[in-house]
Structure 1
Amino acid sequence: MAKKPIGPVRRAFAPWEDPNAIPFIEFRNVTKRFGDFVAVDNLSLSIYEREFHALLGGSGCGKTTMMRMLAGFETPTEGQILLDGQDLAGIPPYKRPVNMMFQSYALFPHMTVEANIAFGLKQDGMPASEIKSRVDEMLRLVKLEPFAKRKPHQLSGGQRQRVALARSLAKRPKVLLLDEPLAALDKKLREETQLELMTLQEDLRMTFLIVTHDQEEAMTVADRISVMDHGHIRQVATPGEIYETPNSRFVAEFIGDINLFSGQISEVNENDARLFCTVLGQHIDIQGAGKVTAGSNAAFAIRPEKVRISLDKPEPSNANVIPGEVWDIAYMGDVSIYHIKIAETETVRAVVANTTRLVERPITWDDKIWLSWDRDAGVILTK
Structure 2
Amino acid sequence: MAKSLGPVKRKFSPWTDPSATPFIRFENVTKTYGDFTAVDNLTLDIYEREFFSLLGPSGCGKTTLMRMLAGFEEPTSGRILLQGQDLAGVPPYRRPTNMMFQSYALFPHMTVEKNIAFGLEQDGLQKADIKARVEEMLKLVKLEPFAKRKPAQLSGGQRQRVALARSLAKQPKVLLLDEPLGALDRKLREETQFELMDIQHTLGLTFLIVTHDQEEAMTVSDRIAVMDKGVIVQVATPAEIYEAPNCRYVADFIGDINILEGKVTAEGGAPVSPGHPPVMTLVSEGLQIAVEQECPAAVGDAVAFAVRPEKVRISLDQPADTAVNAAHGEVWDIGYLGDFSVFLVKLDDGRIIRAAQANVSRLVDRPITYGDKVWLKWPLDAGLVLTR
Conserved in 2, the CA contact under 8 Å of 1:289 and 1:380?
Answer: no
Residue 141 of structure 1 corresponds to: 140
Deviations 1:193-212 (A, max 9, x none): 00000010011000000000
Alpha-carbon distance change, 325 to 10 in structure 1, aligned in 2, over 3 angstroms: farther
Deviations 1:271-302 (A, max 9, x none): 32111112xx1320001142221211100000
Matches within 5 A, 1:346-357: 346-357=351-362
Give the Cα separation in 2 of the matches to 1:241 and 1:85: 29
Alpha-carbon distance change, 266 to 14 in structure 1, aligned in 2, over 3 angstroms: same
Alpha-carbon distance change, 93 to 359 in structure 1, aligned in 2, over 3 angstroms: closer
Give the Cα separation in 2 of the matches to 1:89 and 1:18: 28
Tell me the TM-score normalised to structure 1 length.
0.95
How far off is 1:362 after superposition?
Answer: 1.0
Conserved in 2, the CA contact under 8 Å of 1:298 and 1:382?
Answer: yes
* Alignment equivalent of 1:332, drawn from 324, 331, 337: 337
How far off is 1:10 after superposition?
Answer: 6.9
> What amino acid is the match of 1:347?
I
Q: CA RMSD in A?
A: 1.6
Residue 5 of structure 2 corresponds to: none
- Which of 349-358 and 101-110 deviates more? 349-358
Residue 101 of structure 1 corresponds to: 100
How far off is 1:361 after superposition?
Answer: 7.3
Conserved in 2, the CA contact under 8 Å of 1:335 and 1:352?
Answer: yes
Conserved in 1, the CA contact under 8 Å of 2:288 and 2:323?
Answer: no
> What amino acid is the match of 2:152?
H
Residue 182, structure 1, aligned to residue 187, structure 2:
no
Residue 216 of structure 2 corresponds to: 217
Residue 380 of structure 2 corresponds to: 375
Give the Cα separation in 1 of the matches to 2:359 and 2:160: 36
Residue 21 of structure 2 corresponds to: 22
Alpha-carbon distance change, 358 to 164 in structure 1, aligned in 2, over 3 angstroms: closer
How far off is 1:133 after superposition?
Answer: 0.8
Give the Cα separation in 1 of the matches to 2:235 and 2:223: 7
Alpha-carbon distance change, 109 to 275 in structure 1, aligned in 2, over 3 angstroms: same
Give the Cα separation in 2 of the matches to 1:217 and 1:261: 27
What SS does the aligned partner of 1:11 have? helix
Conserved in 1, the CA contact under 8 Å of 2:287 and 2:324?
Answer: no
Residue 267 of structure 2 corresponds to: 268
* Alignment equivalent of 1:277, drawn from 275, 278, 284: 284
Matches within 5 A, 1:1-383: 11-270=10-269, 271-278=278-285, 281-316=286-321, 320-358=325-363, 362-383=367-388
Conserved in 1, the CA contact under 8 Å of 2:112 and 2:151?
Answer: yes
Conserved in 2, the CA contact under 8 Å of 1:289 and 1:379?
Answer: no
Gaps of 5+ in 1: 1-8
> What amino acid is the match of 1:122?
E
> What amino acid is the match of 2:279?
D
Give the Cα separation in 1 of the matches to 2:365 and 2:241: 37
Give the Cα separation in 2 of the matches to 1:92 and 1:315: 67
Conserved in 2, the CA contact under 8 Å of 1:319 and 1:374?
Answer: no
How far off is 1:346 after superposition?
Answer: 1.2
Give the Cα separation in 1 of the matches to 2:294 and 2:258: 16
What SS does the aligned partner of 2:267 have? strand
How far off is 1:312 after superposition?
Answer: 1.1
> What amino acid is the match of 2:338?
G
Conserved in 2, the CA contact under 8 Å of 1:318 and 1:374?
Answer: no
> What amino acid is the match of 2:354?
R
Deviations 1:57-80 (A, max 9, x none): 111000000000000000000100
> What amino acid is the match of 1:236?
V
- Which of 125-134 and 301-310 deviates more? 125-134
Give the Cα separation in 1 of the matches to 2:302 and 2:213: 32
Give the Cα separation in 2 of the matches to 1:71 and 1:84: 14
How far off is 1:366 after superposition?
Answer: 1.5
> What amino acid is the match of 1:112?
T
Conserved in 2, the CA contact under 8 Å of 1:248 and 1:381?
Answer: yes
Give the Cα separation in 2 of the matches to 1:368 and 1:221: 40
How far off is 1:343 after superposition?
Answer: 4.1
Give the Cα separation in 1 of the matches to 2:163 and 2:318: 57
Conserved in 2, the CA contact under 8 Å of 1:319 and 1:373?
Answer: no
How far off is 1:356 after superposition?
Answer: 1.4
Conserved in 1, the CA contact under 8 Å of 2:328 and 2:348?
Answer: no
How far off is 1:358 after superposition?
Answer: 4.0
Conserved in 2, the CA contact under 8 Å of 1:276 and 1:283?
Answer: yes
Gaps of 5+ in 2: 1-7, 270-277
How far off is 1:316 after superposition?
Answer: 2.6
What SS does the aligned partner of 1:60 have? coil
> What amino acid is the match of 2:36?
F
Residue correspondences, number = 373
Residue 6 of structure 1 corresponds to: none
Tell me the TM-score normalised to structure 2 length.
0.94
Conserved in 1, the CA contact under 8 Å of 2:264 and 2:301?
Answer: yes
